[in-house]
Amino acid sequence: MVKVTHSTRASGIALKPIKNLKMQTEFTKEFMRNNSGCYSEEQLDRCSFMSTEPVTLESILNSEISIKDKYWFVCKKSATKEENQQIAIGVAELILYIYERKYPDDKRPREAIRAARDYLAGIINVEEFRIKKHAAYAAYAAADAYAAYAAYAAVADAYAADDAYAAYAAYAAADAADAAALQKFLLNFCLEPAL
């Protein structure tokens, strides 16, 4: 069993351990060529991570490609639905401070993020979860703020029925995140050794 813990200094939310990660961490060069996103074969072959076989998730995350491309790969090609749910929630927590700095008295996005965690853990029922989800969306609509949208996306993701939506919600949350913070989060989430 793998346990990964995260802490988010800015938002003040301590993330709970994530157990039983099933994320794929090794890939063949053929897999990489068949799943290269917007990279041509020539561009992909110039990437540092293509110099070894197998290609590891660690080498991809520590490579020269953009953080958005790393994030896309993790969410679309490596992570399970459950991991994408955890990523979406984690990134929403990572950027929550952006919203709270502008709207310090509005706790709806924070409550929605907590509700997403509680729903996935079986602590609250679907009706309680929906109430928080709608509140987060109302905060987003009223403030037109990325962080509130990230919280809404994470909450919606916790209820998502398919892998594609889970990955989309995780990617939407990351859109507002600082590149350096997102890089650190991905490295910790994907590579932190078992405790």
Q: How do residues 53-112 score in pLDDT, each as one tens digit?
A: 999 999 999 999 988 899 889 988 998 888 888 888 888 888 788 778 888 888 888 888
Cis omega (within 30 of 0) on the bond before 54?
yes
Residue 166: inside a domain: yes
Which two tokens mark 124? 């609250």
> How many Å is the Cα radius of gyration of the chain?
17
Distances in Å between the Cα of 110 and the Cα atoms of 20, 130, 142, 155 are 26, 14, 16, 10
pLDDT at 146: 60
123 lies in the same domain as 39: no
The answer, as to whether pTM is greater than 0.85, is no
Length of the chain, in residues:
195
| Residue range of the domain that includes 71 | 26-78
Given a contact cutoff of 8 angstroms between Cβ atoms, the answer to whether 153 and 173 are in contact is: yes
165 lies in the same domain as 150: yes
Average the pLDDT over 190-195 and give the result. 64
Average the pLDDT over 14-34 and give the result. 76
Q: What single letter denotes the amino acid at residue 142?
A: A
Average pLDDT, the chain: 76
- Among 78, 101, 120, identify where a domain stops: 78
- pLDDT at residue 31 above 80? yes
40 lies in the same domain as 70: yes
Q: Residues 6 or more apart from 164 whose CB is under 8 A from it?
A: none
Q: What single letter denotes the amino acid at residue 87?
A: I
Chain centroid to CA 6:
12
61 lies in the same domain as 127: no
Task: Report the number of distinct structural domains present in the chain.
Answer: 2
**What tens digit of pLDDT does each residue of 164-189 get?**
555 555 555 566 567 777 888 888 88
Closest to 77 measured CA to CA, from 21, 18, 23 = 23
Residue 18: inside a domain: no
